[in-house]
Amino acid sequence: MKGHDTALVDVSDEVLAKSKLAITKSLGRIQEKFSQDPKYGYLEGAEVFMSSALKRLTLTTDMKAFVESADIVIESIVENIDAKKKLFAEVDKVAAPKCIFASNTSSLPIAEIASATNRKDRFGGLHFFNPVPVMRLLEDTPGFIVNRLLMPYLGEAVRMLERGDATAKEIDQAMEMGTGYPMGPFKLADYIGLDIVKLILDGWHKRFPENRIFQPITVLDKLVSTGKLGRKTGEGFYKY
Ligand code: CAA
């Protein structure tokens, strides 16, 4: 969307086909908006924007072919430190010395991930927010301000549900109406993915076992273990 040639690398063509669909759908929403805006030349300008953005994007399973000439590599795989280190060690062998590495991790320490590479001086965190085309924050601050506050808040909402204090719908309604949040905690957790929320909380629990706020939550663990991960699987706290 910003004019850079980009390659999206994933492990299977099936996943890439799903990604292409999601990206096309998302760009379609933006095209729809631009098609009514004189600044973009209405429909014609909107169509050019959409097709040129898609033309700049390559979807591939061949990591090496694109990494060799990349200026920046942004990793966004599973929230597991060993998996991330293994991937970066591989990418480090192929990428040019000037190439900058970044992780989209939501909670893991950047310095530890970078330790798997020989470019600790060209390694950072680039943390995007869902939905990425809309949210204006890109966080690279040590400590991850948003998730450090957001995850305990989501966890406390689930504990409230677990205690039977209120239903998910009631809690969402209260936060939307009382604090002006666009989505209550259960809608947001389903949107982020319950597996992601659990991985982040579990990771912190391992690092800070004495902190009550990161303790595992039965309701959340149950949903994740039965494959109810939120919007992406059609069911989480809500059905979609
Ligand atoms: N792609 C492109 N555009 C999109 C989009 C998408 N996937 N989703 C929404 N939009 C656009 C819409 O076209 C619309 O644009 P206009 O207003 O300019 O017409 C705008 O965004 C608002 O969308 P809607 O009217 O459909 O609905 P809404 O007003 O409820 O907004 C929302 C949707 C932006 C998702 C809003 O509900 C929201 O801000 N939710 C909270 C999001 C949030 O807290 N994100 C952070 C999650 S934490 C995280 O991601 C970090 C982590 O590590 C886990």
- All structural domains of the chain, each given as residue ranges with its CATH number in brackets, are 6-125 (3.40.50.720), 145-233 (1.10.1040.10)
CB 200 within 8 A of CB 206: no
CA distance 77 to 64: 17
Tell me the two tokens of residue 180: 């002006």
Question: Between these two residues, 35 and 74, which has the higher pLDDT value?
Answer: 74
**Beta carbon of 130 within 6 Å of any ligand 1 atom:** yes
* β-bridge mates for residue 127, sequence order: 139
Torsion 152-158-163-166 (CA) sign? positive
> Would the pLDDT of 37 be above 90?
no
| DSSP notation for 195-231 | HHHHHHHHHHHHH-TT-GGGS--HHHHHHHHTT--BG
Q: Please say whether the beta carbons of 63 and 87 come within 8 A.
A: no
Query: For ligand 1, what atom is nearest to the CA of residue 150?
Result: 48
Question: What digits encode the pLDDT tens for the residues 180-235?
Answer: 999 999 999 999 999 999 999 999 999 899 999 999 999 999 999 999 999 999 99
The finding on whether 31 has its CB within 6 A of some atom of ligand 1 is no
Angle (deg, nearest 10), helices 218-225 and 194-207: 130
User: Is the minimum distance from the CB of 180 to ligand 1 under 6 angstroms?
Assistant: no
The total number of residues written for the chain in this structure = 240
The per-residue pLDDT for range 128-139, each reduced to its tens digit, is 988 888 888 888
Angle at 135 between CA 129 and CA 139, to 5 degrees: 50
- The tokens describing 42, both together, are 């209405």
Structure confidence at residue 38 (pLDDT): 82
Among protein residues, the one with the nearest Cα to ligand 1's atom 2 is 26
What is the pLDDT confidence band of residue 142, given thresholds at 50, 70 and 90? low
134 lines ligand 1 (CB under 6 A): yes
Active site positions, annotated: 106, 127, 139, 147
- Beta partners for residue 57, in sequence order: 6
The contacts found for 124-131 with CB under 8 angstroms, 24 or more apart, are: 124/100, 126/74, 126/102, 128/104, 130/191, 130/192, 131/26, 131/191
